[in-house]
Amino acid sequence: MNRARVEVVVRHLIRNPVTVVAGLVVLAAVVIAAAVPWLALPDPEAMDFVPYSPPSAEHWFGTDNYGRDLFSRILWGTRVALVVAIGSSALSTLLGIVLGSLSGYHGGLSDAIMSRTFDVFLLIPTFFLVLLIVALFGASLGLTMVAIAMTTWPRSARIMRSQVLTLKTRTYVQAALAAGASAPQVLMRHVVPNGLAPIVTDGTILMGLAILTEAGLSFLGLGDQNTVSWGRMIFEGQRHLRLAPWMSIFPGLSMLLLVGALNLLGDGLNHALNPQLRTRGGAPRHVPPVPPPADEPTVEDPAAPMLDVRGLRLVYRIGRREIRAVDGVSFVLPRGGSLGIVGESGCGKSSLGAALLQVIPANAELTAGEVRFGGRAILLGGRPVAERGRRPRIRDLRWARFSIIFQSAMNALNPVFTVRRQLVSAYRRHRPDATPEAAAARVFEVFDLIGIPRQRIDSYPHELSGGMRQRVMIALALLLEPDMVIADEPTTALDVLIQDQILGEIDALRRRLGVTLILISHDMGTVAETCDRVAVMYAGQIVEIAPTATIFERPAHPYTRALIGALPSLTGARRALASLPGEPFVAAGDVAGCRFAPRCGHATDLCRATTPPSVAVAPDHASLCHFADAMVAAPLPEATA
């Protein structure tokens, strides 16, 4: 880990109050363990006091059956607990790091044998081995620690092995080896530090486990007789449970506190190292729907455009950051029309698709915008429109009227169900009266239409080829004869031949069935073939929208020009892609000026200072650029190369 990464992790750690408290508890335990001989405490073994005294001002935790001061004994017990914790986890981790590194570094047969050995040792139940060892060899703290280490080392060995396996192919490790460093040196300097973080995390949890194991042994009477351990105190306390419950209560509480703190610390470390653990997934938040507007049609208007979107905004909340993935998008899509939405990954095009269908992740929120489907409002002010009462209108539209084709390579189909189960239940979800047989018949109909062999219905998604899986996704989207389909990167991750086939099929189906289509893609070429209009998206906004031919012939935005430049030509020699320097812009916080300006070759001070207006360069052609008119007029240097 480099310094910057360490800083990020530390910042995450100290921001979590639970982790901080847990850390302080562990720290306090360490201080107590170190300082206990110098504290003015009664001798923990001295039987100087009245036996069975309940907790009092003099004896905070009372005294035991021999008249020993429990508070003193518990503080001394911290020592034993920490020695066991640190001793066993250090031993275990050291063993694990050495054996894991060797196994991963050498690879081949020795790796195979060693990782099988890890597995075997992981299966040996720690406690019972410790029990046996202690029963045979006599109770001693040292043996207990060795026995704990013996059954837990494969945990860190496994982590280390996989770290070494991934790291040894990295360039800097290769470079160090090429420069003549010896293998152990390279392992120590470059590989071990990188694997350390997860091992430290596991180590804190191991410490808790070690304390509990030692306590369990002591409770069975197999504890080291020469030490003051919390487990042994509870062992002694249970015989006097009725008479002196404090003899059991306080040592147990101390143990709970320390083990809990260690586990919470481990958990905090884990989350600081993998911050995405905490907030991934979740169910979408419920947004109360708004009543339908009184002055608008309650039924669909066949003359109205299929989709009318105005000022749609979607923000993601990541920690305290707000990212405006869709930032004021408006367009109108006529019935039977097809619109291509193009942009780099991260420009918000997929978020736009999800927003239209109102299936957004839990950490996203629609903050503004109106969407009308067939003239009927389904979203107003960023909130769903209810039909009567509380049921959002979109619910009746989803899939039956308005469906989406996801990129199937990205697990868009549930891996644990067969195609039949997924398609039949989707059909019956919207046609509750249909029998499973009728639903399957409809599935076959769509299969025939798309060219999926019927026997594929009983396959699991992973049993299908990429192209076939994508076709199943298309079949799912067309199952209920929707009026409108969004295809979100339907051909990404497929090989070129299949890409063309699938696109051709989507295009043919669209024309045959009269479906209105939105095709989302990062590739200008893809939308050029299929769509009659193209919208180019950048940083959450549509920066240019025009009929397809216009956008290729007279692009009015420098970003569009860059995208077209990035289009490989089929005629001339394959040109070097006009790659864009710089990172895509992310809209967070206040934005002044043009979002594309930092990467734009034509940017002026005006661009950097003032947000560009939407310029209508033609009745059907708008561009978000100060110099749109000049752009249209400028010749395309490489357009027909």
Partner 1 sequence: MRLRRYVLFRVLQLVPVALVVIVLNFLLIHLAPGDVAILLAGEDADPTYMASVRAAYGLDLPFHEQLLRYLGQVLTGDLGLSYRSRQPVMDELMARVPATLMLVGTALVIAVTVGVLVGTLIARRPGSAVDSVVSVLSISLFSIPVFWLGLMLILWFAVHLRWLPSSGMGSVGGPREGMAMVMDVARHMILPAVTLATVWVGQYVRLARTSVSEVLAENYIVTARAVGYGEGTVLLSHALRNALLPVVTVLGLQIGLALTGAVLTETVFSWPGLGRLIYEAILARDTPIIMGAFIIMSFTVALASLATDLLYAALDPRVSL
Question: What residues numbered 204-233 form the site for partner 1, per CB under 8 A?
Answer: 208, 212-213, 215-216, 219-222, 231
Residues within window 539-568 making contact with partner 1, judged by CB under 8 A: none
Are 307 and 337 in contact by the 8 Å Cβ rule? The answer is: no
- Closer of 355 and 556 to partner 1 (Cβ): 355
Residue type at position 517: L
Residue among 415, 581, 635, 637 that touches partner 1 (CB under 8 A) = 415
Tally Cβ neighbours within 10 Å of residue 427. Answer: 23
277: contact with partner 1 by CB under 8 A: yes
CA torsion sign for 55, 59, 63, 69 is positive
Can you give the length of the chain in residues?
641
Q: How many residues bind partner 1 (CB under 8 A)?
A: 82
Residue among 32, 86, 304, 400 that touches partner 1 (CB under 8 A) = 400
């959450």: which residue's tokens?
A: 540
Tokens of 147: 């026995």
Residue 476 Cβ vs partner 1, minimum distance, rounded to whole Å: 7
Given the rule CB under 8 A, which of 178-186, 276-284, 535-543, 576-584 is the region that contacts partner 1?
276-284
Quick note: the x/- pattern for partner 1 over 82-121, rule CB under 8 A, is ----------------------------------x---xx
34: contact with partner 1 by CB under 8 A: no
Residue 118 Cβ vs partner 1, minimum distance, rounded to whole Å: 12
Tally Cβ neighbours within 10 Å of residue 476. Answer: 24
Measure Cα distances from 212 to 141, 205, 332 in Å. Answer: 13, 11, 66
- Closer of 253 and 606 to partner 1 (Cβ): 253
Tokens of 125: 């139940």
Residue among 377, 446, 476, 594 that touches partner 1 (CB under 8 A) = 476
Given the rule CB under 8 A, which of 55-63, 181-189, 278-286, 571-579 is the region that contacts partner 1?
278-286
Are 436 and 446 in contact by the 8 Å Cβ rule? The answer is: no
């107590």: which residue's tokens?
A: 32
Residues within window 123-142 making contact with partner 1, judged by CB under 8 A: 123-129, 131-133, 135-138
Measure Cα distances from 437 to 419, 424, 482, 502, 506 in Å. Answer: 14, 9, 21, 28, 27
Phi, psi of 252 (to 5 degrees): -65, -45
- Closer of 519 and 617 to partner 1 (Cβ): 519
- Closer of 140 and 194 to partner 1 (Cβ): 140
280: contact with partner 1 by CB under 8 A: yes
Residue 72 Cβ vs partner 1, minimum distance, rounded to whole Å: 20
- Closer of 278 and 608 to partner 1 (Cβ): 278
Residue 251 Cβ vs partner 1, minimum distance, rounded to whole Å: 8
Given the rule CB under 8 A, which of 76-84, 333-341, 413-421, 434-442 is the region that contacts partner 1?
413-421
Helix (H) or strand (E) segment spanning residue 356: helix 349-357
Tokens of 139: 């109770």
Residue 293 Cβ vs partner 1, minimum distance, rounded to whole Å: 24
Distance (Å, whole) CA 501 – CA 471: 10
Are 560 and 541 in contact by the 8 Å Cβ rule? The answer is: no
Residues within window 579-598 making contact with partner 1, judged by CB under 8 A: none
412: contact with partner 1 by CB under 8 A: yes
Residues within window 350-369 making contact with partner 1, judged by CB under 8 A: 354, 357, 359, 361-362
């339907």: which residue's tokens?
A: 490
426: contact with partner 1 by CB under 8 A: yes
């996704």: which residue's tokens?
A: 473
Residues within window 286-315 making contact with partner 1, judged by CB under 8 A: none
Alpha-carbon torsion angle 234, 71, 75, 139, nearest 10: -30
Which residues have a Cβ under 8 Å from the Cβ of 396 and sit 6 or more positions away? 387
- Which stretches of 138-191 are DSSP H helices? 141-167, 171-178, 183-186
- Closer of 240 and 554 to partner 1 (Cβ): 240
Which residues have a Cβ under 8 Å from the Cβ of 566 and sit 6 or more positions away? 524, 577, 578, 579, 580
Cα atoms in the 13 Å half-sphere on the side-chain side of 305? 14
Residues within window 477-506 making contact with partner 1, judged by CB under 8 A: none
Burial of 322 per CB tally in 10 Å (0-12, 13-18, 19+) = middle
- Closer of 35 and 124 to partner 1 (Cβ): 124
Quick note: the x/- pattern for partner 1 over 155-174, rule CB under 8 A, is --------------------
Given the rule CB under 8 A, which of 45-53, 275-283, 489-497, 588-596 is the region that contacts partner 1?
275-283
246: contact with partner 1 by CB under 8 A: no
249: contact with partner 1 by CB under 8 A: yes
444: contact with partner 1 by CB under 8 A: no
Are 377 and 318 in contact by the 8 Å Cβ rule? The answer is: no
Count helices and strands in the chain by DSSP H and E runs: 23, 13
- Closer of 250 and 585 to partner 1 (Cβ): 250
- Closer of 410 and 592 to partner 1 (Cβ): 410
- Closer of 242 and 512 to partner 1 (Cβ): 242
